[in-house]
Amino acid sequence: MAKTPKLDKPTARKALPARHKPYAQKIDEGLFLEYRKGARARKWYARAYAGGKYVSSVIGLADDDSPADGVRVLSWSQAQQEARRLATELHARAKGVRAGNVTVADAMESYLGTLAAPRQTRLRAELHILPKLGERKIRDLTSAELREWLKGVAATPPLTRGGKPMKVQLATAEAKADYQRRRKDNANRILTILKAALNHAASEDDSLRATAWDSRRLKPFPNVAKPRDRFLTKAEIGKLLAVCEGDFHALVLGALHTGMRYGDLAKLQVGDFQPRAGCVMSAGTKQKKPHPVYLTKAGIAFFRSVTKGRDAGELIFMNGTRPWRKGDAQRPMRRALEASGIARPEEVCFHSLRHASVSHLVEAGVSTLSIARNVGHADTRQIERVYGHLQPSFQRQQIEASLPNWK
Protein backbone atom coordinates (compact mmCIF):
# COMPACT_ATOMS: atom_id res chain seq x y z
CA MET A 1 0.00 0.00 0.00
CA ALA A 2 1.60 3.22 -1.15
CA LYS A 3 2.08 5.81 1.59
CA THR A 4 2.23 9.60 1.37
CA PRO A 5 5.91 10.55 1.67
CA LYS A 6 6.92 12.56 4.71
CA LEU A 7 7.83 16.12 3.83
CA ASP A 8 8.15 17.76 7.25
CA LYS A 9 11.89 17.23 7.74
CA PRO A 10 14.90 17.82 5.45
CA THR A 11 16.25 14.36 6.29
CA ALA A 12 12.97 12.74 5.15
CA ARG A 13 12.93 14.75 1.92
CA LYS A 14 16.56 13.87 1.24
CA ALA A 15 15.57 10.21 0.84
CA LEU A 16 13.04 11.03 -1.88
CA PRO A 17 14.20 10.62 -5.49
CA ALA A 18 14.37 13.71 -7.68
CA ARG A 19 11.55 13.91 -10.22
CA HIS A 20 9.55 16.40 -12.27
CA LYS A 21 6.22 15.52 -10.65
CA PRO A 22 5.88 17.21 -7.24
CA TYR A 23 5.32 15.40 -3.97
CA ALA A 24 2.09 16.75 -2.51
CA GLN A 25 0.35 16.74 0.83
CA LYS A 26 -3.12 18.06 1.54
CA ILE A 27 -3.05 20.60 4.37
CA ASP A 28 -6.60 21.93 4.07
CA GLU A 29 -9.72 21.51 1.96
CA GLY A 30 -8.79 22.60 -1.55
CA LEU A 31 -5.20 23.38 -0.54
CA PHE A 32 -2.07 21.31 -1.17
CA LEU A 33 1.54 22.00 -0.23
CA GLU A 34 3.83 20.62 -2.94
CA TYR A 35 7.53 19.84 -2.77
CA ARG A 36 9.33 19.79 -6.10
CA LYS A 37 12.71 18.10 -6.03
CA GLY A 38 14.60 18.85 -9.20
CA ALA A 39 18.17 17.98 -10.10
CA ARG A 40 19.33 21.18 -8.39
CA ALA A 41 16.57 23.27 -6.83
CA ARG A 42 14.16 22.14 -4.12
CA LYS A 43 11.10 24.37 -3.96
CA TRP A 44 7.80 24.69 -2.12
CA TYR A 45 4.63 25.27 -4.16
CA ALA A 46 1.10 25.97 -3.01
CA ARG A 47 -1.79 24.55 -5.07
CA ALA A 48 -5.08 26.15 -4.04
CA TYR A 49 -8.60 25.91 -5.40
CA ALA A 50 -10.01 29.39 -6.02
CA GLY A 51 -12.34 30.89 -8.60
CA GLY A 52 -13.47 27.53 -9.94
CA LYS A 53 -10.02 26.09 -10.61
CA TYR A 54 -6.73 25.11 -9.01
CA VAL A 55 -3.91 27.66 -9.06
CA SER A 56 -0.31 26.62 -8.37
CA SER A 57 2.40 29.08 -7.32
CA VAL A 58 5.96 28.82 -6.01
CA ILE A 59 6.24 30.17 -2.45
CA GLY A 60 9.92 29.64 -1.64
CA LEU A 61 12.92 27.36 -1.45
CA ALA A 62 12.92 24.34 0.84
CA ASP A 63 15.40 24.28 3.72
CA ASP A 64 17.12 21.13 2.42
CA ASP A 65 20.55 22.70 1.95
CA SER A 66 20.23 26.08 3.68
CA PRO A 67 18.71 27.08 7.03
CA ALA A 68 15.24 28.61 6.85
CA ASP A 69 15.07 32.42 7.02
CA GLY A 70 11.29 32.72 6.73
CA VAL A 71 11.54 34.82 3.58
CA ARG A 72 13.43 33.12 0.78
CA VAL A 73 14.07 29.74 2.38
CA LEU A 74 11.13 28.15 4.20
CA SER A 75 10.79 25.29 6.64
CA TRP A 76 7.85 22.90 6.54
CA SER A 77 5.78 24.94 9.03
CA GLN A 78 6.69 28.25 7.37
CA ALA A 79 5.70 26.85 3.96
CA GLN A 80 2.31 25.81 5.36
CA GLN A 81 1.71 29.31 6.72
CA GLU A 82 2.67 30.89 3.41
CA ALA A 83 0.44 28.45 1.48
CA ARG A 84 -2.55 29.34 3.66
CA ARG A 85 -1.81 33.05 3.26
CA LEU A 86 -1.69 32.65 -0.52
CA ALA A 87 -4.93 30.65 -0.52
CA THR A 88 -6.70 33.38 1.47
CA GLU A 89 -5.46 35.99 -1.00
CA LEU A 90 -6.60 33.92 -4.00
CA HIS A 91 -10.05 33.33 -2.50
CA ALA A 92 -10.49 37.06 -1.81
CA ARG A 93 -9.41 37.91 -5.35
CA ALA A 94 -11.66 35.27 -6.87
CA LYS A 95 -14.66 36.39 -4.84
CA GLY A 96 -14.37 39.87 -6.28
CA VAL A 97 -13.56 38.89 -9.86
CA ARG A 98 -15.12 35.53 -10.56
CA ALA A 99 -18.12 35.32 -8.21
CA GLY A 100 -20.91 33.66 -10.17
CA ASN A 101 -18.85 33.41 -13.37
CA VAL A 102 -17.69 29.82 -12.94
CA THR A 103 -18.17 27.74 -16.08
CA VAL A 104 -18.97 24.06 -16.37
CA ALA A 105 -15.40 23.52 -17.63
CA ASP A 106 -14.03 25.25 -14.50
CA ALA A 107 -16.18 23.05 -12.28
CA MET A 108 -15.18 19.89 -14.13
CA GLU A 109 -11.47 20.72 -13.93
CA SER A 110 -11.70 21.34 -10.20
CA TYR A 111 -13.81 18.25 -9.49
CA LEU A 112 -11.66 15.86 -11.51
CA GLY A 113 -8.48 17.32 -10.02
CA THR A 114 -9.75 16.94 -6.46
CA LEU A 115 -11.07 13.44 -7.13
CA ALA A 116 -7.95 12.20 -8.94
CA ALA A 117 -10.52 10.68 -11.28
CA PRO A 118 -9.88 7.54 -13.31
CA ARG A 119 -9.26 7.86 -17.04
CA GLN A 120 -12.75 6.62 -17.94
CA THR A 121 -14.41 9.42 -15.97
CA ARG A 122 -12.19 12.05 -17.58
CA LEU A 123 -12.84 10.62 -21.02
CA ARG A 124 -16.62 10.73 -20.57
CA ALA A 125 -16.40 14.35 -19.48
CA GLU A 126 -14.21 15.28 -22.45
CA LEU A 127 -16.44 13.51 -24.98
CA HIS A 128 -19.94 14.26 -23.71
CA ILE A 129 -19.95 17.14 -21.22
CA LEU A 130 -17.34 19.72 -22.19
CA PRO A 131 -18.12 20.02 -25.94
CA LYS A 132 -21.75 21.03 -25.30
CA LEU A 133 -21.69 22.61 -21.85
CA GLY A 134 -18.06 23.48 -21.11
CA GLU A 135 -18.29 27.22 -21.88
CA ARG A 136 -21.66 27.68 -20.17
CA LYS A 137 -21.69 29.65 -16.92
CA ILE A 138 -23.16 27.52 -14.17
CA ARG A 139 -25.44 30.32 -12.96
CA ASP A 140 -27.03 30.50 -16.44
CA LEU A 141 -27.85 26.78 -16.77
CA THR A 142 -31.51 25.80 -16.94
CA SER A 143 -33.17 22.48 -16.24
CA ALA A 144 -34.70 22.45 -19.72
CA GLU A 145 -31.26 22.93 -21.28
CA LEU A 146 -29.78 20.08 -19.25
CA ARG A 147 -32.69 17.78 -20.11
CA GLU A 148 -32.10 18.41 -23.82
CA TRP A 149 -28.39 17.75 -23.32
CA LEU A 150 -29.17 14.45 -21.57
CA LYS A 151 -31.45 13.36 -24.44
CA GLY A 152 -28.68 14.22 -26.87
CA VAL A 153 -26.16 12.10 -24.97
CA ALA A 154 -28.57 9.14 -25.04
CA ALA A 155 -29.07 9.58 -28.78
CA THR A 156 -25.33 9.67 -29.46
CA PRO A 157 -23.79 6.35 -30.62
CA PRO A 158 -20.79 4.94 -28.77
CA LEU A 159 -17.68 7.04 -29.39
CA THR A 160 -14.05 6.08 -29.79
CA ARG A 161 -11.46 7.74 -27.55
CA GLY A 162 -10.87 10.17 -30.40
CA GLY A 163 -14.55 11.18 -30.36
CA LYS A 164 -15.56 9.42 -33.60
CA PRO A 165 -18.88 7.48 -33.63
CA MET A 166 -18.69 3.71 -33.84
CA LYS A 167 -20.72 1.74 -36.36
CA VAL A 168 -23.59 -0.14 -34.72
CA GLN A 169 -25.55 -2.90 -36.48
CA LEU A 170 -28.88 -3.92 -34.96
CA ALA A 171 -30.49 -6.93 -36.64
CA THR A 172 -33.64 -7.31 -34.53
CA ALA A 173 -36.16 -5.14 -32.70
CA GLU A 174 -35.00 -6.72 -29.43
CA ALA A 175 -31.41 -5.73 -30.15
CA LYS A 176 -32.51 -2.19 -30.98
CA ALA A 177 -34.49 -1.88 -27.74
CA ASP A 178 -31.56 -3.16 -25.68
CA TYR A 179 -29.23 -0.75 -27.48
CA GLN A 180 -31.46 2.21 -26.62
CA ARG A 181 -31.66 1.07 -22.99
CA ARG A 182 -27.87 0.84 -22.77
CA ARG A 183 -27.41 4.30 -24.30
CA LYS A 184 -29.81 5.78 -21.75
CA ASP A 185 -28.03 3.93 -18.94
CA ASN A 186 -24.74 5.35 -20.20
CA ALA A 187 -26.26 8.85 -20.33
CA ASN A 188 -27.33 8.47 -16.69
CA ARG A 189 -23.75 7.64 -15.71
CA ILE A 190 -22.48 10.76 -17.50
CA LEU A 191 -25.21 12.82 -15.81
CA THR A 192 -23.92 11.58 -12.45
CA ILE A 193 -20.45 12.95 -13.30
CA LEU A 194 -21.90 16.32 -14.32
CA LYS A 195 -24.04 16.62 -11.19
CA ALA A 196 -21.10 15.72 -8.96
CA ALA A 197 -18.94 18.43 -10.58
CA LEU A 198 -21.68 21.06 -10.31
CA ASN A 199 -22.41 20.17 -6.68
CA HIS A 200 -18.70 20.41 -5.93
CA ALA A 201 -18.58 23.88 -7.50
CA ALA A 202 -21.65 24.99 -5.54
CA SER A 203 -20.06 23.82 -2.28
CA GLU A 204 -16.98 25.97 -3.06
CA ASP A 205 -18.82 29.09 -4.28
CA ASP A 206 -21.65 30.55 -2.19
CA SER A 207 -22.99 32.43 -5.22
CA LEU A 208 -23.99 29.16 -6.90
CA ARG A 209 -27.08 27.20 -6.00
CA ALA A 210 -27.94 23.63 -7.04
CA THR A 211 -31.20 24.54 -8.80
CA ALA A 212 -31.05 23.64 -12.49
CA TRP A 213 -29.56 20.22 -11.77
CA ASP A 214 -31.54 19.55 -8.61
CA SER A 215 -32.77 15.93 -8.55
CA ARG A 216 -36.38 17.14 -8.37
CA ARG A 217 -35.99 19.03 -11.66
CA LEU A 218 -33.42 17.02 -13.60
CA LYS A 219 -34.11 13.31 -13.35
CA PRO A 220 -32.18 10.47 -14.99
CA PHE A 221 -33.85 8.06 -17.41
CA PRO A 222 -35.91 5.61 -15.31
CA ASN A 223 -35.65 1.80 -15.35
CA VAL A 224 -32.68 1.54 -17.70
CA ALA A 225 -30.09 0.00 -15.37
CA LYS A 226 -29.92 -3.75 -15.87
CA PRO A 227 -28.45 -6.14 -13.28
CA ARG A 228 -25.40 -8.00 -14.51
CA ASP A 229 -26.43 -11.53 -15.49
CA ARG A 230 -23.17 -12.91 -16.90
CA PHE A 231 -21.07 -14.35 -14.10
CA LEU A 232 -18.36 -16.95 -14.39
CA THR A 233 -19.38 -20.26 -12.87
CA LYS A 234 -17.08 -22.40 -10.73
CA ALA A 235 -16.54 -24.76 -13.67
CA GLU A 236 -15.67 -21.86 -15.99
CA ILE A 237 -13.21 -20.46 -13.44
CA GLY A 238 -11.57 -23.88 -13.22
CA LYS A 239 -11.11 -23.97 -17.01
CA LEU A 240 -9.74 -20.42 -16.97
CA LEU A 241 -7.20 -21.18 -14.25
CA ALA A 242 -6.07 -24.29 -16.11
CA VAL A 243 -4.77 -22.21 -19.03
CA CYS A 244 -3.33 -19.27 -17.05
CA GLU A 245 0.41 -19.44 -16.42
CA GLY A 246 3.05 -17.97 -14.15
CA ASP A 247 2.59 -14.44 -12.84
CA PHE A 248 -0.78 -14.02 -14.53
CA HIS A 249 -2.09 -17.20 -12.85
CA ALA A 250 -1.14 -15.72 -9.45
CA LEU A 251 -2.81 -12.42 -10.32
CA VAL A 252 -6.04 -14.17 -11.34
CA LEU A 253 -6.08 -16.16 -8.10
CA GLY A 254 -5.48 -12.95 -6.15
CA ALA A 255 -8.52 -11.37 -7.81
CA LEU A 256 -10.72 -14.39 -7.11
CA HIS A 257 -9.69 -14.67 -3.46
CA THR A 258 -10.18 -10.96 -2.72
CA GLY A 259 -12.65 -9.54 -5.26
CA MET A 260 -10.28 -6.59 -5.59
CA ARG A 261 -9.94 -4.36 -8.61
CA TYR A 262 -6.96 -4.80 -10.91
CA GLY A 263 -5.39 -1.50 -9.89
CA ASP A 264 -5.64 -2.37 -6.20
CA LEU A 265 -4.10 -5.81 -6.72
CA ALA A 266 -1.20 -4.28 -8.63
CA LYS A 267 -0.42 -2.00 -5.64
CA LEU A 268 -0.59 -4.67 -2.93
CA GLN A 269 2.63 -5.03 -0.95
CA VAL A 270 3.78 -8.01 1.06
CA GLY A 271 3.29 -6.01 4.26
CA ASP A 272 -0.39 -5.53 3.41
CA PHE A 273 -1.01 -9.23 4.03
CA GLN A 274 -1.90 -9.79 7.70
CA PRO A 275 -2.15 -13.54 8.28
CA ARG A 276 -3.15 -13.28 11.94
CA ALA A 277 -6.11 -11.08 11.06
CA GLY A 278 -6.82 -13.21 7.99
CA CYS A 279 -6.94 -10.27 5.60
CA VAL A 280 -5.09 -8.03 3.19
CA MET A 281 -5.26 -4.25 3.58
CA SER A 282 -6.42 -2.45 0.47
CA ALA A 283 -6.17 1.32 0.11
CA GLY A 284 -8.51 1.05 -2.86
CA THR A 285 -8.64 3.24 -5.97
CA LYS A 286 -11.99 4.68 -4.91
CA GLN A 287 -11.66 4.90 -1.13
CA LYS A 288 -9.84 7.50 0.97
CA LYS A 289 -8.98 5.12 3.82
CA PRO A 290 -7.51 1.59 3.80
CA HIS A 291 -9.95 -1.20 4.50
CA PRO A 292 -9.45 -4.90 5.33
CA VAL A 293 -10.34 -7.52 2.74
CA TYR A 294 -10.98 -10.72 4.70
CA LEU A 295 -9.95 -14.03 3.21
CA THR A 296 -11.11 -17.64 3.34
CA LYS A 297 -8.72 -20.31 4.62
CA ALA A 298 -7.79 -21.05 1.02
CA GLY A 299 -7.17 -17.34 0.44
CA ILE A 300 -4.91 -17.09 3.49
CA ALA A 301 -2.95 -20.14 2.32
CA PHE A 302 -2.57 -18.61 -1.14
CA PHE A 303 -1.24 -15.30 0.17
CA ARG A 304 1.12 -17.12 2.54
CA SER A 305 2.58 -18.95 -0.44
CA VAL A 306 3.10 -15.83 -2.59
CA THR A 307 4.57 -13.70 0.24
CA LYS A 308 6.77 -16.26 2.00
CA GLY A 309 10.33 -15.04 2.56
CA ARG A 310 9.76 -11.67 0.87
CA ASP A 311 10.32 -8.13 2.18
CA ALA A 312 7.32 -6.15 3.42
CA GLY A 313 7.86 -3.38 0.87
CA GLU A 314 7.83 -5.66 -2.18
CA LEU A 315 4.82 -5.79 -4.49
CA ILE A 316 2.99 -9.10 -4.09
CA PHE A 317 2.15 -9.45 -7.76
CA MET A 318 4.78 -8.82 -10.42
CA ASN A 319 4.66 -9.09 -14.20
CA GLY A 320 8.04 -10.69 -14.65
CA THR A 321 10.56 -8.19 -13.30
CA ARG A 322 8.26 -5.15 -13.36
CA PRO A 323 4.96 -4.18 -11.74
CA TRP A 324 1.61 -4.84 -13.37
CA ARG A 325 0.70 -1.63 -15.16
CA LYS A 326 -2.51 -0.29 -16.57
CA GLY A 327 -3.66 -2.48 -19.48
CA ASP A 328 -1.03 -5.20 -18.90
CA ALA A 329 -3.67 -7.82 -18.03
CA GLN A 330 -5.76 -7.37 -21.19
CA ARG A 331 -3.72 -9.54 -23.56
CA PRO A 332 -3.10 -12.47 -21.19
CA MET A 333 -6.79 -12.39 -20.23
CA ARG A 334 -7.82 -12.46 -23.89
CA ARG A 335 -5.46 -15.39 -24.60
CA ALA A 336 -6.79 -17.29 -21.58
CA LEU A 337 -10.40 -16.79 -22.66
CA GLU A 338 -9.65 -17.97 -26.19
CA ALA A 339 -7.70 -20.99 -24.92
CA SER A 340 -10.35 -22.02 -22.38
CA GLY A 341 -13.33 -21.32 -24.65
CA ILE A 342 -15.51 -20.25 -21.71
CA ALA A 343 -16.52 -16.87 -23.18
CA ARG A 344 -15.75 -14.36 -25.89
CA PRO A 345 -13.28 -11.60 -24.91
CA GLU A 346 -15.97 -8.95 -25.47
CA GLU A 347 -18.17 -10.68 -22.85
CA VAL A 348 -15.61 -11.14 -20.08
CA CYS A 349 -12.62 -9.10 -18.94
CA PHE A 350 -10.28 -9.10 -15.95
CA HIS A 351 -12.81 -7.07 -13.93
CA SER A 352 -15.22 -9.99 -14.38
CA LEU A 353 -13.12 -11.85 -11.79
CA ARG A 354 -14.25 -9.31 -9.20
CA HIS A 355 -17.87 -9.93 -10.21
CA ALA A 356 -17.29 -13.67 -10.03
CA SER A 357 -15.88 -13.43 -6.50
CA VAL A 358 -18.76 -11.28 -5.29
CA SER A 359 -21.48 -13.30 -7.04
CA HIS A 360 -20.34 -16.54 -5.40
CA LEU A 361 -20.37 -14.86 -1.98
CA VAL A 362 -23.94 -13.66 -2.63
CA GLU A 363 -25.08 -17.12 -3.73
CA ALA A 364 -23.45 -18.62 -0.63
CA GLY A 365 -25.71 -16.46 1.54
CA VAL A 366 -23.13 -14.01 2.90
CA SER A 367 -24.85 -10.79 4.00
CA THR A 368 -24.73 -7.90 1.56
CA LEU A 369 -23.33 -5.64 4.29
CA SER A 370 -20.37 -7.98 4.86
CA ILE A 371 -19.71 -8.23 1.13
CA ALA A 372 -20.00 -4.47 0.62
CA ARG A 373 -17.47 -3.76 3.35
CA ASN A 374 -15.10 -6.41 2.06
CA VAL A 375 -15.01 -4.99 -1.48
CA GLY A 376 -14.80 -1.39 -0.30
CA HIS A 377 -18.34 -0.10 -0.93
CA ALA A 378 -19.74 2.57 1.37
CA ASP A 379 -23.11 0.78 1.63
CA THR A 380 -25.06 -2.17 0.24
CA ARG A 381 -26.89 -0.42 -2.61
CA GLN A 382 -24.47 -1.41 -5.36
CA ILE A 383 -24.35 -5.04 -4.22
CA GLU A 384 -28.14 -5.23 -4.07
CA ARG A 385 -28.58 -3.54 -7.45
CA VAL A 386 -26.07 -5.68 -9.35
CA TYR A 387 -26.28 -9.01 -7.53
CA GLY A 388 -29.68 -8.91 -5.81
CA HIS A 389 -31.27 -11.27 -8.34
CA LEU A 390 -28.86 -14.01 -7.21
CA GLN A 391 -30.34 -14.02 -3.70
CA PRO A 392 -33.95 -15.23 -4.09
CA SER A 393 -33.38 -18.79 -2.85
CA PHE A 394 -31.42 -17.64 0.19
CA GLN A 395 -33.99 -14.93 0.83
CA ARG A 396 -36.78 -17.48 0.70
CA GLN A 397 -34.97 -19.80 3.12
CA GLN A 398 -34.42 -16.97 5.61
CA ILE A 399 -38.07 -15.92 5.52
CA GLU A 400 -39.34 -19.50 5.83
CA ALA A 401 -37.08 -20.06 8.84
CA SER A 402 -38.05 -16.81 10.56
CA LEU A 403 -41.82 -16.37 10.29
CA PRO A 404 -44.05 -18.38 12.63
CA ASN A 405 -47.02 -20.43 11.49
CA TRP A 406 -49.91 -18.00 11.96
CA LYS A 407 -53.10 -19.79 13.00
Q: Choose between 161 and 133: higher pLDDT.
A: 133
Q: Choose between 311 and 57: higher pLDDT.
A: 311
Query: Please, which residues have CB within 8 angstroms of residue 107's CB and are 6 or more apart in sequence?
Result: 52, 138, 197, 198, 200, 201
Mean pLDDT (the chain, rounded): 84
Tell me the pLDDT band of 7, cut-offs 50, 70 and 90: confident
pLDDT at 1 over 50: no
Tell me the pLDDT band of 94, cut-offs 50, 70 and 90: low
pLDDT one-digit tens code per residue, 339-397: 999 888 777 889 899 988 988 888 888 888 888 888 888 777 777 766 665 655 555 55
Arithmetic mean of pLDDT, 65-81:
87
Arithmetic mean of pLDDT, 113-139:
84
Arithmetic mean of pLDDT, 208-224:
84
Q: Choose between 280 and 98: higher pLDDT.
A: 280
Tell me the pLDDT band of 200, cut-offs 50, 70 and 90: confident
The pLDDT value given to residue 144: 92
The pLDDT value given to residue 154: 94
CA 384 from centroid of its chain's CA atoms: 20
pLDDT at 403 over 90: no
What is the Cα–Cα distance from 198 to 209, expressed in whole angstroms? Answer: 9
pLDDT at 308 over 90: yes
Q: Choose between 227 and 331: higher pLDDT.
A: 331
pLDDT at 303 over 70: yes
Q: Choose between 53 and 73: higher pLDDT.
A: 73
pLDDT at 285 over 60: no
The pLDDT value given to residue 362: 84
Q: Choose between 227 and 341: higher pLDDT.
A: 341
Residue extents of the structural domains in the chain? 10-97, 114-204, 234-401
Q: Is 352 exposed, middle or buried (0-12, 13-18, 19+ CB in 10 A)?
A: buried
Please report, for residues 116, 219, 302, 382, the alpha-carbon distance to residue 281 in angstroms, rounded to integers and kept in the order given.
21, 38, 15, 21
The pLDDT value given to residue 360: 86
- Whole-number percent of the chain with pLDDT over 90: 36
Arithmetic mean of pLDDT, 111-129:
81
Arithmetic mean of pLDDT, 226-244:
84
Arithmetic mean of pLDDT, 95-114:
73
The pLDDT value given to residue 374: 87
- The answer to whether the CB of 139 falls within 8 A of the CB of 100 is yes
The pLDDT value given to residue 97: 44
Give the closest residue to 75 by CA, choosing from 5, 6, 4, 10. Answer: 10
Q: Choose between 206 and 344: higher pLDDT.
A: 344
The pLDDT value given to residue 343: 82
Class for the domain spanning 10-97: alpha beta
CA 278 from centroid of its chain's CA atoms: 25
Arithmetic mean of pLDDT, 179-198:
92
Q: Angle 282-286-292 (CA atoms, 0-180°, nearest 5)? A: 25
The pLDDT value given to residue 115: 65
Q: Choose between 388 and 66: higher pLDDT.
A: 66
Q: Angle 380-382-385 (CA atoms, 0-180°, nearest 5)? A: 105
Q: What type of residue sits at position 317?
A: F
pLDDT at 209 over 50: yes
Tell me the pLDDT band of 150, cut-offs 50, 70 and 90: very high
**Burial readout 24-61 (b: 16 or more C-beta within 10 A, e: otherwise):** beeeeebbbbbbbbeeeebbbbbbbbbbbbbeeeebbb
Query: Is domain 234-401 in CATH 3.40.50.970, yes or no?
Result: no
Q: Choose between 5 and 321: higher pLDDT.
A: 321
- Whole-number percent of the chain with pLDDT over 70: 87
Arithmetic mean of pLDDT, 310-322:
93
CA contacts within 13 A on the Cβ side of 286: 10
Positive or negative CA dihedral for 323, 325, 247, 264?
A: positive
The pLDDT value given to residue 117: 64
Q: Which of 104-108, 217-221, 230-234, 320-324 has the lowest mean pLDDT?
A: 230-234
The pLDDT value given to residue 2: 54
List residues bridging with 74 in a β-sheet: 62
